[in-house]
Amino acid sequence: MIIVIQCKDQVGLVAGITGVLAKEQLNIVSLREHVDKAENRFFIRIHLEKETDSQALESKLQQVLPPDAIIKVNPLPEKKVVVLVTKEYHCLADILIRNHFKTLGARVQCVIGNHDVLQNICQRFDIPFYLVSHEQLEKPAFEAQVATLIDKYSPDYIVLAKFMRILSPDFVARYTGRIINIHHSFLPAFVGANPYRQAFERGVKLIGATAHFVTNELDEGPIIAQQIIPVTHSQTAGDMMKAGKEIETAVLAKALHLVFEDRVFVYKNKTVVFE
């Protein structure tokens, strides 16, 4: 059972929280906490040995915490996710394999694509695939169709596995804090189309990828995980793209693992991550 809390920092928070758990005879397996001094913000993640009544425990914890406390008592359920894709397969394939062998930490409910290129691989893993073409549709109409499908499954998170469409502020607001994207750069970096071509032409020595929560500011959302690898002048743009896809897959997998285990706190435009 996992408890995650964030609130205004003050003296005695850890003592108050652990005191409640002790009275309930709940043994702590692990405890991680952090204070952001600049924001006067307290974050804690506690892993308990056994489960209990989550609503009752949340109510008791609220009594020893500041009024602004955000408390989540989570008896380790498997999260539900919907995946959005376009044409690139590498991130989706990794997600489907992990889902098949139950190592994802979540259950993929369906995949929605604006092209049918990846329908076959979804069928092989017995995952529902829905085609919602963006062609000849205004963005509001396209997003309305996508949202209808998403809401059918009531997912905890929406994963953009190389979904190459810019989402509107209305769509993002509908799923605030629940959309996770993998970006093909070590943000902030080359923006727009063909990032690897831009990197190649600039003669960069490092390339990377960034997983982040989606906000209205394009590619500016709270960062969950990042990774870089060195490159040299002898590598072509194609070589960089191949290496970049491997990084994207790894970074997205790491970010999803962290999020699904409730190890990521978001405050304003930053994250606190207990790895």
Q: Just list the catalytic residues.
A: 219
In DSSP terms, 73 is beta-bridged to 3
Residues 6+ apart with CB under 8 A from 119: 113, 129, 131
CA distance 40 to 59: 23
How many residues would you count in the chain? 275
195-202 and 237-260 are packed helices; what angle lies between their axes, rounded to 10 degrees?
120
CA distance 118 to 111: 9
CA distance 209 to 181: 11
CA distance 175 to 177: 6
Pairing mode of beta strands 79-85, 157-160: parallel
Show the tokens assigned to 178: 């629940």
C-alpha gyration radius of the chain: 21
CA distance 48 to 194: 46
SS3 for 255?
helix
In DSSP terms, 6 is beta-bridged to 43, 70
Sheet arrangement for strand 2-8: 28-36, 41-48, 2-8, 70-74
